[in-house]
Amino acid sequence: MTQRNERRLPRLEDVADRAGVSHQTVSRVVNNHPNVSASTRGKVEAAIAELGYRRNTAARSLVTRRSQTIGVLGSEMSQYGPANTLLGVEQAARDAGYFVSIAALREVSREAILDATMHFLDQSVDGIVVIVPHSETLAALAEVALGIPVVAVGTQGNDAVSGVMVDQFRGTELAVQHLIDKGHRRIGHIAGPQDWIDGVARAKGWRSALQSAGLDADLLVEGDWSADSGYQIGRKLAEDRTATALFVGNDQMALGLLRAFNEAGVRVPEDVSVVGFDDQPESGYFTPPLTTVRQDFKELGRRCMDVMLTAIKEGKGPGSTVVEPELVVRKSTSAPA
C-alpha cells in the first residue's frame, strides 16, 4: 500500500528559523509593520518565498477578531462608473491586505439592501462599502445599527454612514463653464436617470452654472446612460437645433449622440459642441475626440479604503472625503459658428 504524503504546510516559526529571526519579526513583515529594516525584511521575504509560507487568516481572525474581509455591495455593475469604482475599491483593499466579498443587487430596494448587509454580517466582514448610486440607499442604511464601519461611495454620507465621492457638481461646473467661456449661450443637457445620485448632481450643477451666468436652463432631456438613449435623443435634437452646445451626462450617451449627429449631417464641433462625463478609455478615440470630465476611480477607491481603515483601526465615527474631477479638453468643443 502506498503511503500518502502528509508533509505539513510551513508555519510562521519555520520562516523564522530559515531567516534566522524571531517569529515576532516575521509577524511584523507579514503584517507590513514599518519597524523592520530593509535587510531583515529581505531575509524574511526570501524565506517566505522559498518555503511557500501562507498566512493562516482563519487563525489570525480568532486572535484579532477581524476577518480581513470587506463586503462590497453594488448595483448596475455593467455601467462604467460603478464597475470602475468597484475596481478601484478592490485594488485598494488588496493593497491594504484585505479580501473583498461582493454582493451585486439584481434590483435596488430597501429590502434588497438590508438583506445584503445582513448577509455580510453573517460573514463577519470588518466593514461594508456600498456602491449603490441611488437616492434611497442612505435612508435604508440609516435604519439599522450594523456595528461595523459602512462607507457609501458617491455620497457625502450622514451621521451613520461615511461618504466618499467625486465632486459631481464641481465636474459639471467645469464642463459648462468651458462651454460658456467658448462663447456658447444656449447650452442643453442630456441628463442621466434622475433616480441616480450622480444624475441629479450633474443636472443640478448644469442649472447652477447657467443661472450664475444669467443663461436659461430650459433644455434638459433625460437618458438612461446608454449609447442607444444618446443616439435616440441625438436624432431628435438634430431635427430641432436650438442649442449650440450640449453637456452630456456620460460618455456613453455622448457616443450615441455623436453617431446620430453624424448621420444627420450635424457637424461637431462646428455646428454643436459636445462635452461628456467620465473620460472612458475610448473617449479620446471618438469622432471627434471627446472633451469630457475625468473621474479618478483609482483615487476614489484609495480614499474609500482610507476612510474604512481609519474607522476599523481607530474606531472613528462617520466621515467624508471628496475627490476632485478634471476637465479634459479635446476636439468636440469650439466657439459657436
pLDDT tens for 16-65 read 888 898 877 887 787 666 678 888 888 888 888 888 776 655 445 444 45
Confidence band for 8, pLDDT divided at 50, 70 and 90: low
Do 207 and 255 lie in one domain? The reply is yes
Task: Name the CA radius of gyration of the chain, rounded.
Answer: 25
DSSP letters, 264-276, are: HT--TTTT-EEE-
CA distance 108 to 140: 11
Do 85 and 228 lie in one domain? The reply is no
Do 216 and 270 lie in one domain? The reply is yes
Confidence band for 120, pLDDT divided at 50, 70 and 90: confident
- Report yes or no on 335 lying in a domain: no
Do 279 and 321 lie in one domain? The reply is no
Residue 142 reports pLDDT greater than 80:
no
Confidence band for 3, pLDDT divided at 50, 70 and 90: very low
Domain that holds residue 316: 64-167+297-325
CA distance 168 to 187: 18
Do 247 and 158 lie in one domain? The reply is no
Do 154 and 120 lie in one domain? The reply is yes
pLDDT tens for 278-304 read 999 999 999 999 999 999 988 998 899
- Report yes or no on 115 lying in a domain: yes
Do 177 and 281 lie in one domain? The reply is yes
Average model confidence (pLDDT) across the chain: 88
- pLDDT attached to residue 336: 95
> Please, what's the b/e burial string for 1-39 (b: 16 or more CB within 10 A of its CB; e: otherwise)?
eeeeeeeeebebebbbebbebeeebbbbbbeeeeebeee
Q: Calculate mean pLDDT across residues 74-84.
A: 87
Number of CB atoms found within 10 A of residue 128's CB? 24
- Report yes or no on 5 lying in a domain: no
The pTM for the full model equals: 0.77
- Report yes or no on 4 lying in a domain: no
Cβ pair 217, 206 in contact under 8 A:
yes
Q: What is the CATH number of the domain that holds 41?
A: 1.10.260.40
pLDDT tens for 196-208 read 999 999 999 999 9
- pLDDT attached to residue 56: 55
C-alpha cell at 228: 442607444
CA distance 271 to 279: 23
